[in-house]
Structure 1
Amino acid sequence: MTHRSLPRRLVIHATSVALAAAGALLPARAWAAGPVMPRLPVARTLPAADWVDVTDDPSGITFKLPARPTVTRTSKPDCRMYAAASAATSETVSVCDIPGTDKVDYLYSTADGALDAFRKKAGNDVDSGTQETEVEGRPALDLHASGKNDPPQRLLFTARYIADDPYSVSALSFAYAKNEKALDQEHRQLLDSLHLPP
């Protein structure tokens, strides 16, 4: 992917904070490149009906997370990050103020920053792919990434980035490879619960 017009360091900073918030919810050994982790049982997915309703007050954007979120704020760019974890995954939604920014350029810059930050956490050997889409008529980009280290230590990352002047939304999900099915299901629940005001 090509790095675009929005200052890359700001995008990487916001994405790194979101990754760090989500990473703090996974056990520390998930981010370590050290010894193989002990085998743990595969976690069950929490039903969507039991998820917590969250509203980003400045934007009116609403979504659900598997638990009451930890909120982190940044000022450059102005972002609010909401992170929560289930037994299987870690979910983060970030809402950033991006008035006047080219939407498509922002999506690719954000995905580039996220991939850079994920490589630093999961090791440089990462498989990834992106796909352009739309959400409620707004441009969006889906990103999927996987560390290549051996299971059960391998980390998976999936994200949807949505650009809508003056806000952008990132919905990020992380899990161990053994919880891939739960990751797919919970990320879908997160996306289905995400609503942007008209």
Structure 2
Amino acid sequence: MVRLSRFHRLALLTASTAVITGGVLSQGSAFAATQWQKITDSPSGITVRLPGKPVVQKYSDHGVNSRDYVVPTGYGALGFSVFDGPGKAPDKPWDLRTGLKAAVDGYNSGDTSARLHSTDVHAGTKDGDRYLEARLIGAEGRVGHIRLVDHGKQSIVVMTVGTGRQRAAVDRDYRQVLDSIKTPHHAPRQVAEPAVST
């Protein structure tokens, strides 16, 4: 469900930059003046605010189209993905647990020395949409968060990864992205009731 090799490369690049500068980025750094921008995934109409202009990649696999929006940050990387299930039955949910495993595996495929694993996995609902959320921890002090949302015809994934010594920024930015998500109105998922004859 999720390909995150580009996410992985951006996270490693910016984490390396933070290590080189002792975790403090200079005022001249590309990451110093964070300017949050509203990003719209035009096929779905879903909007999210990100701390800069994202690198965008599009994929199509087994009838599912997806778009990844990833921004390098001073601590690693932050991004979201939107997956479309064309012709998806409104009463058939997305498999969020498989999506979580695919996201972590996708990140880990880039470099075995920078492996992540998920912890504190929990499910919930918000605005009628089911979600699955987890904390991410990994080698070399990496930390992060991921949330996968079943939005009916679309699934949304938000993920951030950074260095442990900048955990406060990782946590803050992740929460800010989640709070910024706006989705077009959609009817809550309902299972059709059998017809009753009178």
With normalisation by structure 2, the TM-score equals: 0.75
Matched, 1:74 2:59: yes
Find the counterpart in structure 1 of residue 80 from structure 2.
Answer: 93
Match of 2:22 among 29, 32, 40: 40
The equivalent of 1:196 in structure 2 is 183
Q: Which of these residues, 138, 144, 166, is aligned with residue 153 of structure 2?
A: 166
Return the structure number with greater helix share: 1
What are structure 2's unaligned runs of at least 5 residues?
186-198
Could you say if the C-alpha distance between residues 97 and 29 of structure 1 is closer, same or farther in structure 2, counting changes exceeding 3 Å? closer
Per-residue displacement from partner, 1:79-112 (whole Å, max 9, x unpaired)? 0111112223411110010223832x52111011
Q: Equivalents in 1 of 2:58, 2:76: separation in Å?
A: 22
Displacement of 1:56 in angstroms is: 0.6
Q: Partner residue of 1:65?
A: 50
Relative to the length of structure 1, the TM-score reads 0.75
Residue in 2 that maps onto 1:34: none
128, 139, 148: which one aligns with 1:137 = 128
Select the structure of larger CA radius of gyration. 2
Distance 1:85 1:124, change over 3 A: closer
Distance 1:117 1:189, change over 3 A: same
Out of 95, 102, 108, which is 1:113 matched to? Answer: 102
Partner deviation per Cα, 1:36-67 (whole Å, 9 max, x = no partner): x656224699898x301111111110110100
Compute the displacement of 1:135 (Å).
2.3
Shifted more, 136-145 versus 114-123: the winner is 114-123
Q: Distance in 1 between matches of 2:14 and 2:70?
A: 19
What is the alpha-carbon distance in structure 2 between the residues aligned to residue 127 and residue 142 of structure 1? 9
How much has 1:126 moved relative to structure 2? 3.6
Query: Unmatched 5+ residue regions in structure 1?
Result: 1-10, 32-36
Code of the aligned partner of 1:78: N
Q: Is the 8 A contact 1:46 1:66 kept in 2?
A: no
Letter of the structure 1 residue corresponding to residue 79 of structure 2: T
Q: SS where residue 67 of structure 1 aligns?
A: coil
Give the structure, 1 or 2, with the largest relative contact order (CA under 8 Å, sep 6 or more).
Answer: 1
Return the offset for 1:178: 1.2
Q: State how many pairs are aligned.
A: 172
Counterpart for residue 174 of structure 2: 187
Give the root-mean-square deviation of aligned CA atoms: 2.8
**SS across alignment from 1:59:** coil
1:55 aligns with 2:40: yes
Aligned amino acid, residue 136 of structure 1: D
What letter matches 2:60 in structure 1?
Answer: S
Identical pairs, percent: 22
The 1-side partners of 2:120 and 2:33 are apart by: 28
**Is the alpha carbon distance of 1:145 and 1:125 closer, same or farther for their aligned partners in structure 2, counting shifts above 3 Å?**
closer
